[in-house]
């Protein structure tokens, strides 16, 4: 058997077991690979009885599901139902996958299609036996949903967000984010599956433009709040205030190779607090970072720091959005994400920045 055929059988078996664990419920597979019409073939038909009320589930199975995948499957299931011989019994369109994204779940609920994933989420919208169990996706498959916010893919998503009113090509994004065309292309494809971008054209001339800014922000926020904050190098630089420190930082970096983020950057983009006493920034990694810190006369400390340097792994991790008052600032989206992982009033500042600068 092919690998997915084995996984599909596991999904169906687990679905039957989960339904059987409900009070006064029973389920069994009536048929597999059921032919419907001249060309249609549904993955399974399952007999279910809950509280003495019988009905059937017409089941389509996938590995993982994003909104675009689900919309296509819903259309298929509706078509199968229209051509399925019936004895008058209740037949419910149903979808199973190893993991179903939050956006896909919402579409299935709106369409009245039942669903199940290996995390244990179960929705059966039967007229006389409604069942809904909501659980997070299984840990292994959650990584699939999160991968778009990690590493080089995250750079692409951020670039699409920051240029959200523009139509962008794979080539252009690859060049501006310093990632391979393959990485840019796969990231954009994932954004398509989530229905975050509009598409124009095809082939090498295919263009995308962000259509769901709020959905991107919500998903990235949910992801970032579950992560450990990046390592922060803490330093003390002998200056009277953050204004003097920001000016000295810019001179030490030659006006480039760094980006201020978090509270000071948020204050520059959308003033909210009366004063800021520390600077957090990213500086290009490698020997050049040490040279910059030496020029600043920055001394490593555990307390009383006024300069925090967020760990970076590549030059592409240091991105400048705007220069304001002579200071290079990280893009507003990066500032927002860094604030979400901060302490004190940082989350309050994040909410203010989102409202003022990150709307669609």
What the chain holds in terms of domains, given with CATH numbers, is 3-137 (3.40.1350.10), 150-211 (1.10.10.10), 232-357 (no CATH)
pLDDT-based confidence at residue 101 (cuts at 50, 70, 90) = confident
Q: Residue 319 is encoded by which pair of tokens? A: 């991105």
Does residue 125 or residue 359 have the better pLDDT?
Answer: 125
DSSP H or E segment with residue 282: strand 279-283
Q: What's the whole-model pTM score?
A: 0.79
Residue 329, by phi and psi: left (phi above 0), alpha (psi -120 to 50) or beta? Answer: beta
Mean pLDDT of 67-77: 90
Tell me the C-alpha distance between 29 and 7, whole Å: 16
pLDDT of residue 82: 85
- CA–CA distance from 38 to each of 70, 74, 83, 84, 86 (Å)? 23, 19, 10, 11, 17
Query: Could you tell me the two tokens for 98?
Result: 């190893």
Residue 1 has pLDDT above 60, yes or no: no
Average pLDDT over residues 124-149: 80
pLDDT tens for 220-247 read 998 999 889 999 999 999 999 999 999 9
Q: Give the best-scoring range by mean pLDDT among 14-18, 100-104, 135-139.
A: 14-18
DSSP secondary structure string for all residues of 319-351? ---EEETTEEE--HHHHHHHHHT--TTHHHHHH
pLDDT at position 2, please?
43
End-to-end CA distance of the chain: 47
The chain-wide mean pLDDT, for the chain, equals 90
Report how far residue 255's alpha carbon sits from residue 323's, in angstroms, rounded to the nearest whole number. Answer: 10
pLDDT of residue 41: 85
In whole angstroms, what is the distance from residue 105 CA to residue 346 CA?
A: 32
């Amino acid at each position: 058997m092919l690998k997915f055929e084995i996984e599909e059988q596991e999904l169906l078996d687990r679905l039957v077991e989960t339904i059987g664990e409900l009070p006064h419920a029973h389920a069994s597979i009536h048929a597999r690979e059921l032919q419907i019409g001249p060309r249609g073939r549904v993955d399974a038909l399952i007999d279910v009885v809950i509280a003495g009320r019988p009905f059937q589930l017409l089941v389509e199975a996938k590995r993982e599901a994003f909104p675009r995948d689900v919309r296509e499957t819903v259309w298929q299931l509706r078509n199968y139902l229209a051509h399925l011989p019936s004895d008058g019994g209740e037949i419910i369109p149903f979808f199973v996958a190893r993991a179903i994204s939050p956006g896909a779940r919402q579409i299935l609920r709106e369409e009245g299609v039942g669903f199940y994933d290996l995390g244990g989420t179960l929705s059966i919208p039967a007229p006389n036996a409604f069942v809904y169990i909501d659980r997070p996706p299984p840990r292994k498959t959650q990584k699939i949903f999160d991968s778009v916010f990690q590493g080089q893919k995250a750079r692409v998503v951020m670039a699409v967000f920051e240029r959200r009113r523009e139509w962008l090509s794979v080539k252009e994004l690859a060049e501006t984010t310093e990632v391979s065309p393959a990485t840019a292309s796969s990231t954009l494809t994932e954004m398509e599956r989530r229905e975050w971008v509009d598409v124009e054209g095809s082939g090498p001339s295919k263009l995308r433009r962000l259509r769901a800014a709020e959905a991107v922000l919500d998903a990235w926020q949910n992801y970032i709040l579950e992560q450990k904050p990046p390592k922060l190098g803490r330093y003390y630089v002998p200056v009277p205030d953050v204004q003097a420190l920001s000016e000295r930082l810019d001179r030490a970096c030659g006006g480039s190779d760094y980006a201020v983020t978090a509270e000071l950057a948020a204050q520059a983009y959308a003033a909210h607090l009366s004063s800021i006493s520390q600077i957090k920034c990213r500086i290009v990694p490698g020997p050049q970072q040490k040279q910059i810190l030496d020029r600043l006369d920055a001394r490593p400390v555990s307390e009383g720091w006024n300069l925090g340097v967020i760990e970076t792994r590549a030059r592409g991790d240091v991105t400048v959005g705007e220069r304001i008052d002579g200071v290079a600032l990280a893009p507003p989206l990066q500032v927002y994400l860094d604030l979400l992982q901060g302490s004190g009033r940082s989350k309050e500042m994040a909410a203010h920045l989102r409202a003022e600068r990150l709307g669609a």
